[in-house]
Amino acid sequence: MDKAKVRERILEVGIIPVVRASSAGEACIAAEAVCKGGIPIVEITMTVPGAVELIRELVRSCGSEVLIGAGTVVNAEAARHCIEAGAEFLVSPGLNLQTVAFAAAEGKLIMAGALTPTEVMAAWEAGADFVKIFPCGQVGGAKYIKALKGPFPQIPFVPTGGVNLNTAAEFLEAGAVALGVGGELVQAEALKTNKPEIIVENARKFLAIVQHSRAQLKSAHADAKATH
């Protein structure tokens, strides 16, 4: 899939499930469950045992239906391994300029991590496709995204950390283009007890929030336009 299509799918779905499983088997169950719940995207973090091999396996088994990405990619070498395994997008917890440059050279989408305005500017100038604000919940959550959107209206923010069913709508209203969701969607307990139906249900709930919030924002925008 080319970079434009990857970007399109992320923007369209609006949720990036972050899989931090304790085994490759659990990660596979998680990927299948979020897809069944209507989210054909999964980010496999490098903290999963055998993550690169797992990405390769998932690309082979369900890459035609699910967009497989790699998370917690901290340097260009790790990025290279992930891309060779078939990852369609890369996500980093912080800003590593070499990783951003490598992704750009390979024509792969990258979501570079940032927290401060200085890091946001550096990530965007370096060529990041999205800027992941992490850990967002710990620094004000949706209010922090709203504050960043003031000086940076053109930058597509993806908050991660602190995103749950209660806060998801607030993040979208604050200007986030998509949400990175980990344990609140892919619950460790559901994987441990082999209850993927819980994850399927969570995926559906998150999707419903995205659709509802976007419809409300669209309607509010249309109303504002009409009154001018």
Residue 175 and residue 193: Cα distance in Å, rounded? Answer: 36
For residues 34 and 9, the answer to whether their CB atoms sit within 8 Å is no
Q: In the annotation, is 132 catalytic?
A: yes
Residue 102 and residue 95: Cα distance in Å, rounded? Answer: 13
Active-site residue among 43, 57, 170, 184? 43
Residue 181 and residue 203: Cα distance in Å, rounded? Answer: 10
- Angle at which helices 117-126 and 97-106 cross, to 10°: 30
Residue 1 CA, distance from chain mean position: 17
**Sequence-ordered strand ranges (E) for 81-220:** 89-91, 109-114, 130-133, 157-159, 179-181
Active-site residue among 88, 132, 170, 184? 132
Beta strands across the sheet bearing 157-159: 157-159, 130-133, 109-114, 89-91, 67-71, 41-45, 15-19, 179-181
Residue 212 and residue 169: Cα distance in Å, rounded? Answer: 8
Pairing of strands 89-91, 157-159: unpaired
Q: Catalytic residue numbers?
A: 43, 132
